Amino acid sequence: MMAYIRKKKIKGKTYYYVVEGVYEEGSKSPSPKQKVIRYLGNIKNILSKFEFWDKHHKKD
């Protein structure tokens, strides 16, 4: 299955998750359920991770 990023609003704040669609075996309904693979946090947290990466992995 493919993974994708899902945003979710909780108490007015937006948070992001990496999720994948998973079919439950033996389920009567064939629709996939979303399984959270990783919590990413809010956009500020995500951008800080990219800034950290850029700062510590600069190419010369």
37-54 per-position pLDDT tens digit: 999 999 999 999 989 988
Q: Is the pTM of the predicted complex or chain greater than 0.75? A: no
pLDDT score at 60? 58
CA gap 49, 36 in Å, rounded: 19
What residues does each domain of the chain span?
3-56
Query: SS3 helix, strand, coil % of the chain, rounded to 5?
Result: 25, 45, 30
